[in-house]
Amino acid sequence: MSHLTKKDRIAIRAALDAQRIHLLQGLKSALEESGQTQFAEVLGRTSGDSADEALAETLGNLSAARMDNEVHTLRALEAAYKRLDTPDYGQCEDCGGDIPAARLIANPAATRCVACQGRFEHTHAGQAHGSM
C-alpha cells in the first residue's frame, strides 16, 4: 500500500513533467549547438507517449555523446513515470520506508529516502576514492 494520496501523485506527475521538459529543452539546445539537429528534432517532437520509442532510440544514440549525465537523469525520469502508478513508487528501495511526498515532488526520480540516499552516496564516494 502506498502512502501517497491521489493529490500527491498529481503533484508528483506535474513535477515530473516540468523536470522532463526542462531536461529535454537543455538537451535539445545542446544538440543544436553541436550540430546534431536530427536528435534535436526527435527531442522536440517528444511530448507524448507515442514518441517514447523514438525517444528511447535517441537516448541510446546520445549515450555515446557527451551528455551522459542528462541522459541518465532523463532515463530516471522515464522510469519514474512507469513506476508512478505502481504501489512500489514512493517506497525506499533500500529500507522499504515511505519517501515523503515533498521529497518526491522535489525529486520525482528519487528511489531512496533521504537517510538511505545519504548512505548510498557516502558508500559510492567511498568506493570511488577507496582504491587509492
Residue numbers 90-109 binding Zn ion by CB under 5 A: 92, 94-95, 97
Residue number with CB closer to Zn ion (53 or 93): 93
State the minimum distance, in angstroms, from the CB of residue 95 to Zn ion.
3
State the minimum distance, in angstroms, from the CB of residue 53 to Zn ion.
34
- Cα distances from 58 to residues 12, 53, 67, 75, 94, in angstroms, run 25, 9, 12, 11, 31
State the minimum distance, in angstroms, from the CB of residue 117 to Zn ion.
8
Query: Under the rule (CB under 5 A), what is the footprint of Zn ion?
Result: 92, 94-95, 97, 113, 116
